[in-house]
């Protein structure tokens, strides 16, 4: 099975969009090599602006372009796009509800050896608290290309999160996606596993392992955490009673928190969150960082068995 980083999809789909539509703009922040936008800068030169290490300025320029009918993508690292430019995104993009897309690579723990300063584990939580903002994290290369195109067609602010490291394919080229609607990858009623981004593939392996043990788990790819597919979450809570969320993000204010909010309001079901345990990362291989936070297929399986009363606390 092939594996590609979702940032590869970012560069390739932006180029396709730019060649099709002269109103698509890319504003780079001196990381075009890492974010794969060099081909766009070469083939769509009149639609490309590199502002250097200046994310706040990039958002301002994007907001200005949006007021003239353009569809700008601000492309940078998640740590800088979500935090350094947060005030500008709030004031200049979300408040006037402008058609600006914030496309950020290196989300979560995938910067790995670059350490805690580059491992952005807070970004989706920050962005989902902003009114008018849509928050998306694709599971693999194919879903990334489809969701980038969907974001370009969506009228309003969108935050898109991509990975540095390669991810095994979850989907093929024929898969379809709708912003705000989860994709169900496995059916089951014993327990539901809800994941997004790079953790979907980890969760898929866990669900397959559980099936071999006689536990039938539902698997949802919640690629959009805002607006959350509340209907799919409520259905999982009612039919499976127990839900495990899995994310490469702080368990506070990300996917797990969003699902817990639905559960609390519904008053049904139990939710267990797997993700970064409200701690900073450190310089280490990506797989080691995931393991340190329990973001593994083994831990998902242990958690499921524990919640079903088949094992002691995981």
- Start-to-end C-alpha separation, the chain: 30
Q: What are phi and psi of 202, to 5 degrees?
A: -65, -45
State the Cα–Cα distance between residues 305 and 209, nearest whole angstrom.
12
Strand partners, 103: 75, 160
**Residue whose C-alpha is closest to residue 85's, from 62, 64, 106, 67:** 62
- Paired tokens of 125: 């939580």
Give 11's contacts (C-beta < 8 A, 6+ positions apart). Answer: 35, 36, 37, 38, 39, 40
Tell me, rounded to whole angstroms, the distance of Cα 108 from its chain centroid.
Answer: 9
Any idea what DSSP says for residue 46? Answer: G
Identify any residues that bridge with 4 across adjacent strands, giving them in sequence order: 167
The answer to whether 238 and 269 have CB atoms below 8 angstroms apart is yes
Q: What CA–CA distance (Å, rounded) separates 226 from 303?
A: 26
Counting Cβ atoms within 10 Å, is residue 21 exposed (0-12), middle (13-18) or buried (19+)? middle
For the annotated catalytic residues, the residue numbers are 55
């Amino acid at each position: 099975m092939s594996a590609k980083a979702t940032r590869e999809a970012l560069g390739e789909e932006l180029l396709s969009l730019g060649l099709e539509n002269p109103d698509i703009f890319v504003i780079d922040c001196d990381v075009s090599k890492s974010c794969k936008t060099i081909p766009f800068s070469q083939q769509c030169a009149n639609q490309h602006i590199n502002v250097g290490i200046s994310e706040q300025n990039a958002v301002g320029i994007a907001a200005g372009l949006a007021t003239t009918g353009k569809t700008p993508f601000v492309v940078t690292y998640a740590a800088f796009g979500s935090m350094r430019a947060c005030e500008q995104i709030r004031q200049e993009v979300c408040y006037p509800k402008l058609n600006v897309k914030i496309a950020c690579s290196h989300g979560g723990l995938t910067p790995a050896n670059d350490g805690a300063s580059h491992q952005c584990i807070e970004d989706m939580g920050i962005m989902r608290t902003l009114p008018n903002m849509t928050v998306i994290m694709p599971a693999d290369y194919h879903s990334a290309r489809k969701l980038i195109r969907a974001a370009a067609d969506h009228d309003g602010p969108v935050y898109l999160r991509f990975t540095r490291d390669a991810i095994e394919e979850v989907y093929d080229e024929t898969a379809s996606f709708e912003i705000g609607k989860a994709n169900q990858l496995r059916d089951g009623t014993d327990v539901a596993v809800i994941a997004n981004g790079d953790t979907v593939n980890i969760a898929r392996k866990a669900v397959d392992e559980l099936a071999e043990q006689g536990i039938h788990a539902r698997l949802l790819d919640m690629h959009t955490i805002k607006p959350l597919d509340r209907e799919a979450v409520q259905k999982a809570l009612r039919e499976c009673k127990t839900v495990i969320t899995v994310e490469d993000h702080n368990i506070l204010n990300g996917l797990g928190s969003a699902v817990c909010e639905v559960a609390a309001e519904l008053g049904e079901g139990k939710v267990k969150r797997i993700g970064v345990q409200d701690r900073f990362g450190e310089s280490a291989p990506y797989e080691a960082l995931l393991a340190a936070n329990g973001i593994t297929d083994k831990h998902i399986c242990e958690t499921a068995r524990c919640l079903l009363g088949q094992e002691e606390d995981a």
